[in-house]
Amino acid sequence: MSTVARDRLDTTTIDAPPGLAGVVVAPTAIGDVRGLEGYFHYRGYSAVELASRTSVEEVWHLLVDGELPTAAELAAFSADVRRRRQLPPQIARLLPGLAEAARGGDPLAGLRAALSVVGAELGLRPLYDSDPAERRDAVLTLGALTPVLLAELSRRQRGLAVVTPDDGAGFVADYLWRVTGAEPDARHVTALSTYLVATVDHGFNASTFTARVIASTGADPAACLVGALGSLSGPLHGGAPSRVLDALDEIAHARRAREWARDQISAGRRVMGFGHPVYRTEDPRSAMLREVVLDLGAPRAELAVAVEREVLAALEELKPGRALHTNVEFYASVLLEACGIPREAFTATFATARTIGWSAHVLEQAADPKIIRPSARYVGPTPPRPLP
């Protein structure tokens, strides 16, 4: 590189804020999060309204194909993804060993390994070498297999027999049936569907950005999803719902909530389920799920509402003006428990939805030939350093 070219790069490099907060890194037509307004949407449709009125399959079609389906399109799309639930033979043989290796742990660990093998067994080609139709086919298969893999891993890790639901079960009912081992209550299916639709996409969060970075290299779709899952496993991203339930266990009674919150804040510990890097208002997903768990009569719904009130009071007392509110994970924990999903599978359940959103972003990123390659600001010793 010439000195002139290098100097030009040096002068156009811009220091980004911590965490890339507010930095626009790519255009997208999939959705947007408006943190100051407390609003987010998928392709122009209010995500909260979609969560209240549509199914996972409808929103899946919207994100991947660009439009909400007609009745005929929905029937065809739903049938298509149902037939893709059949596990490839090599994966079916592999799952017992993966579950045993992580017995009692997080099903996501097994899923990362399983999806890598799925990509190889199905012969998924790099995005760089495939056309849009082939890419769409690949991500639909991965999205359909993900809940099946997670449910089977979860049951095997708990030492339970694998269950195969009726062939006609929809996405949410099929997953609930597989993970709990029994035909689900219709009210639980509706509640879980609301949660999954509300969390299928949420802007350029850490896991979505990870998927897009990998997609920009031209890697195969399974590699993109495996990378996103690695990002999702972190407690500061997708790993908080079970920790919220741990906190509710510890608090036990609403009268202890404020004292507990004061202790957490004074000790500099994070209060899981509160605060969000984008929203400066109440998280609209949290507000919606609060009503869902109350309507559902979830066992901890009343406690959660009381704890929210007391923790917010403590936060206002100790961190005035910080505008901290509950995030989606707070009431998600109460909802998932009420639906019979084991605590260790909470983040995995979140992943069944987010995989669909990641897939849409992978397809969108694959259409851009430019690799994502940001710069870093070097802060180490001044070069050149003499060798000792």
Question: Tell me, what CATH number does 138's domain have?
Answer: 1.10.580.10
Q: Which whole number is the average pLDDT over 218-244?
A: 87
Q: What is the CA radius of gyration of the chain?
A: 22
What pLDDT is attached to residue 2?
A: 42
Higher pLDDT, 329 or 30: 30
What pLDDT is attached to residue 240?
A: 57
Residues 185, 111: one domain? yes
Using CA atoms, how far apart are residues 54 and 52, in angstroms rounded to an integer? 6
Catalytic machinery residues: 276, 329
Q: Which domain holds residue 318?
A: 241-338
In a domain, 275, yes or no: yes
Domains contained in the chain, number: 2
In a domain, 387, yes or no: no
Distance of CA 98 to the CA centre of its chain: 22
What pLDDT is attached to residue 9?
A: 46
Residues 154, 253: one domain? no
Residues 73, 137: one domain? yes
Residues 76, 144: one domain? yes
For 61: left if phi > 0, alpha if psi spans -120 to 50, otherwise beta; the answer is alpha
Higher pLDDT, 267 or 298: 298
What pLDDT is attached to residue 8?
A: 43
In a domain, 22, yes or no: no
pLDDT tens, position by position, 16-50: 787 787 788 889 999 999 877 878 999 999 999 99
Question: Does pLDDT of 151 surpass 90?
Answer: yes
Calculate helix-pair angle for 71-83, 132-157, nearest 10 degrees: 60
In a domain, 10, yes or no: no
In a domain, 27, yes or no: no
185-189, 246-250, 309-313 — most confident range: 185-189
Question: Does pLDDT of 213 surpass 90?
Answer: yes
Neighbours of 93 (CB within 10 A): 10
Pairing of the two strands 31-34 and 45-46: unpaired
Using CA atoms, how far apart are residues 348 and 327, in angstroms rounded to an integer? 18
Distance of CA 238 to the CA centre of its chain: 6
Residues 78, 202: one domain? yes
Residues 253, 319: one domain? yes
